Structure 1
Amino acid sequence: MVNPEHVQKGGTMKNFIFVICTVFMMALTAGCGGGGGGSGGGSGTLEVSGVAAAGAPLVGTVTLKDSSAQTRQRSATIANDGAYSLDVTGLTAPFLVQATGVAGNSNYTLYSMASGAGTCNINPLTNLALTMANAGQDLSGFFASPTPTKMQTLSIALHAASMTVQNKFALLFTLVGASPVDIITDPFQANSQGLDLLFDLAAFNISNGNLSITNRSNGSVILPATAINNGLITGSISSNMLAVFKVSGTVKTSAGTGISSVTVTATGSLSPKVKTDTNGNYSLSLPIGSYILRASQSGYTFTPSSIPVSVSSANLSGKDFTAVSTATGYTVSGAVKTATGAGIPGVTVLLTGTTTKTSTTGSNGTYSFTDVTNGSYTLTASLSGYSFSTIPVTVNNSNATGQNVTGTTTGTCNTLSISPASNTFPPGIGSGSVTVTADSSCQWAPPVSNSAWLTASAVTSNSGGTVNYSLTANTSNSSRNGQITIGPKIFNVTQEAQSCTFSIFPSANLGVSSAGASGNVNLTAASSATGGSAPNCAWVAVSNNSDWIIITGANSGSGDQTISYTVLPNTGNSQRTGTITIAGKTFTVTQAEVGVTGTWNGTLNIPGAGYTGCISQTVPFSLALSEDAAKNITGYTSNSRTISSGNRSGNSINVTLNTDWGSRGPYVWTWNGTNTITGSMAYICYSLDTGAILSEGTETFSVTRN
């Protein structure tokens, strides 16, 4: 019998319509790093670090919050150059980062986001990209009360927003000589060059979901106010509102040798500084104005001491400095070696001339004299059992390097023999011995190794004996060869290269929702040389589905590492599987298809079926349903009718309707994978007078997502 509270009057008849539809809702799962660690994996401290600047470095504080259910945070004071570093060991990624402080007499609160441990710069562009990812809304409210789900959502949306920012402002980047690949993780300095120069010259103003950019010096509009709440920046850039030109030159000695790493500073409305390259070249990007150029480096004076420049309408070149050394004493250095190139330790080296100095060679045969004045010298060496060449040395306003001396053994050692003549070792720590046989007339010198990793014991004898040696672990990826000189004989040692093995954890993320997620894979490297950590074991990470699985952190390196990745939303109606290859290991990502989520509305035409009082009518109805991870379905219609049982296989929805007069079905409905569900519903018409059923059956329907 029908429950009277669901009776709808229509003349002397009541028509009952029971409509059940099913809506799929995929479970949203967040792809955080394994074990709850923000960037867990290898041993040691994990850090998020970067530079906080808005042209000038921020003077203030950086605060980081993690994605755990009970938010944890870290804070640090920003250094004078804008740098900061925070320990995130044990925290859950991604991290929301806020920098508050003063730069150029203005107060700033800027935001950025880190997908895991590593670099996270904080500046007006990172703040803009994150605000766009947040649908143009101010970030202060969310920073005050973050949630894990929203953190994941922002981390995913940030990638697309960052790309939009970088593409939109390409003209401005070119103007200031910047070519960013990633505005969050690229190397960055608060030195009024590159991106930082852009922040010096242009103000990025965000208010009420709109962005505008103005010239700081004259207020001219570079970008008029444009909405950023839809993930786009649609306004037109007027790059001619910023005037920036190149000023370049060289720093060389009077002989024309370029001096590297000289700091060249321009003092004016800004005070940018750059360093010369290996050939002594430099280039500064400067806005219109007057500047004084100066060069500086310890140990040199520069001519001229300063160069005035006026930047107005064109690039300027030829602003050159000549470097003059201020050193009054110089270095004489070299090595004492055998004819085969093995360094001889313990040799007394004497430098005689304008002054007299003495030195003793180290374990690899090297020596050095400092504070040697200009003049002509003679270099001699002495050690029992050897004779040495004598070489002249001239010091003339520069260091004299590479002053090498050759030593040869003395005495008659024609009968000396060694056994064995060579040995080969695996990559780990090793040791061995060589048996020396000689007659009493052979005065053979202490054994000498030509490699720092191969050490020989200082055994001296007038007859036979034993030379003991040891070798350190070979943690390189190439085999290596060393020699020990024993009198006139050479003992050869070969050590094999380390072999590297890698493991990843986890090996798969099988629970990524259609909405996407960010996550981490912990890579552990092991070396056959050490039996443990392997800092020199190189690896590469490659996304084999880079159109939707994006490596957001380091994609190459050595040793243990945490690989961060982002899975973009799946807008298709099929589950998809992709992989990342990390050091030859495969990490698998399985992402659910887009689910049927939300509410579906439609109408149903009920036929009169030829019975008096059972009238034809069009009935509107609304449906809301959900699906669990096992694709079991629950749901209800607008009149709270429920599904007693249901499940989905592909696009087929199999349901049994739970009605007041018993279960109806099973029914098979069809989902088109996006917005529409089609199927059938049950209806019944009965007499109020007798309660007799006048008509019942099923009718097809089509409902569409709002």
Structure 2
Amino acid sequence: MKRLIRWYLFLFLLLVLAGCGGSNATPTMTPAPVVTGVAAAGSPLVGRVFLKDSSIPAKELSMPLAPDGSFQFNLNGLTAPYILRAVGKSSGHIFALYSFAPTAGIANINPLSSLAVTLAYGSDNLASIYSSTDAVGMQTITRALGDAIITVQTALRPTLVKFGAESVNFLSAPYVANHRGIDLFLDNADISISNGIVTLSDLTANSSVPTTLSGFVVGTFDFIPNPVTSAGTVRIFPASASINTGASVTFSSRIIGSDNQGVIWRVVEDGGGSITSSGVYTAPATSGTYHVKATSVADPSRSASVSIVVNAANIIMIVPTATPGEFSLIAENFSGIGGVEITITYDISVLANPRITQGAMLAGTMFFQNTRYTANSVKVTAASINAINGSGNLATVSFDLVGAVPSTPFISQYKLAKVSPPPTGPGSGSPAPDQPPAPSAGGSVPSSGGAGTAPI
């Protein structure tokens, strides 16, 4: 009996000691609820991030984004759900992107999250709901956000699968701006929504696919071809060019996934023309194929080149058509021409009774023809206040055949005039409406079937 009493007394003392020890233990602290995430559009956004809660009136927090695009908001004293907005610069472009957090947790901000919130809300006017914090709209997004994320993943699956990102929850999964997976997809792609139109852009090809919001919901989109482009790759737009001697074309560049979009432009060939620091290329006086190169300032080992075909400008030719005795007067690479005067000489022993029909290139001009300029020549004259550009048919000259073997007429002389800018300043006058531009010095082509190039 005594042993039993001692046993109970021992248990009692243990309980007392345990109680005393518990009173000195450090109480467990519950961590504050937070919303965290990364704001990126391929590269991390450099700017600020904002969060609004569902209080009435709404409470707003803001902070600068960390260098890796990350942020964290303490939610103490705030009411769920929360709408987020990030404004900043990524890869040389300004973005205003949105996201949403039904509760504490991860809420990444990127073009895909903006698209998902737009679909959940049913409108692309996210700036309005952010500014007003409409309680009904906030609850609508809360209920529909999960389905909206699945809709985005399904619609973009043919493209996302190329990046191994078809199953990634771009909004609530941990995100690292490391140019891999979903982040590499955002290096290569741009997604914008405006006035009910979703525009899916391939930044590596400077091409876009537009669709309505309703069309996006039911469609699938494969808008970036394989192989996908790695970060740091330099692209030049347009990818090629064909211009006349002395003409200019403007190139632009993009460095995929880089915040430093600076490039150094140069023409590869000596005598191949010139290019400015802003990408404006001017062709030389000599026709040929030349190349322009853009080298990344951030990484000089990365560069790209494009070819430019430079064509001789303002060429005139006369060529036979499929109809015997009929010949086309053809212009090639006309640039800024305001007037033409062309003399065509023919062999009267085989060709007779010339007739001239105005061609499409001279439609809308003041057109004159003289089929009896001399005994063996005709003259075509046209003038325009608007520039005649491009290539095409100036006129068709038809003859009756009087010889067994018809010969091709030839251009014996031509004159071309450039369109002059309108006169300005005091005392400047306008030319008479029926007065063609004064031709420049022309040339002659003594050989049959030759072509003339105006020295202007």
TM range (shorter): 0.3 to 0.5
TM-score (ref. length: structure 1): 0.29
Flag the structure with higher helix content.
Answer: 2
TM-score (ref. length: structure 2): 0.44
> Comparing both chains, which one has the higher relative contact order based on Cα–Cα distances under 8 Å and sequence gaps of 6 or more?
1
